[in-house]
Amino acid sequence: MSPKPMTRPGGRSARVQESVHAAVRELVGETGREALTVPLVAARAGVTPSTIYRRWGDLQELLSDVAVERLRPETDPVDLGSLRADLDAWAEQFLDEMASPPGRAYIRDALLGDPDGTNAGQCSAYAAEQIDAILSRATRRGEAVPETERVIDRVVAPMMYRILFRPGRLDAAYARELVTNALDRP
């Protein structure tokens, strides 16, 4: 179990994390994932390989941490004036991002180097936070809303399952059908 700080540590520790993550992103962009090694990442980041092994355990755990950072949503869900419109837009964008080649690679990396499930749980927490934000906004508008866990089960889970296990139709109309199922039955 390597330590995986979910709140960014301060000081030197934060600088090491940032430079190592940046080195991974640069090297993946330049040479691809297959050619990546801990010594290469260390040299680019200006740290020793043992710093990386001590903090992340191995390359897979480092890639998992980098992937979770990349899967962190960068903006609040867009406000389109109604629950239905907001959830449709969010689900379509989520599916678009997660089913893209980089999205699939990040999901895979996040799961692979994550023996205790911390990073997978963080990915799911990101989705839940975005859904919470949409539902809270709808509640403030006076709309009736389902529970967050229901939206996870009915919208997020089918999309992620199909991305990982069952290739097939993954388009905007599919995302909207899932939203219908989450909203129509209380």
Q: Comparing C-alpha atoms, which of 69, 81, 77 is closest to residue 17?
A: 69
Contact 90, 77 (CB under 8 A): yes
Instruction: Please report, in angstroms and rounded to a whole number, the separation of the first and last CA atoms in the chain.
Output: 41
At 1, list the tokens. Answer: 């179990």
Q: Residue 164 is inside which H or E element, if any? A: helix 157-165
If one asks whether residue 121 binds a second copy (CB under 8 A), the answer comes out as yes
If one asks whether residue 170 binds a second copy (CB under 8 A), the answer comes out as no
Figure out which of the listed residues 83, 91, 151, 178 binds a second copy, where binding follows CB under 8 A: 178
Find the part of the chain contacting a second copy (CB under 8 A) among 11-19, 92-100, 104-112, 135-143. 104-112
Q: How far is the CB of 76 from a second copy (least distance, A)?
A: 21
Contact 47, 16 (CB under 8 A): yes
Question: Considering beta carbons, is residue 23 or 66 the nearer one to a second copy?
Answer: 66
Chain positions contacting a second copy, by CB under 8 A: 108, 111-112, 117, 120-121, 123-124, 149, 152-154, 156-158, 160-162, 164-168, 178, 181, 184-185
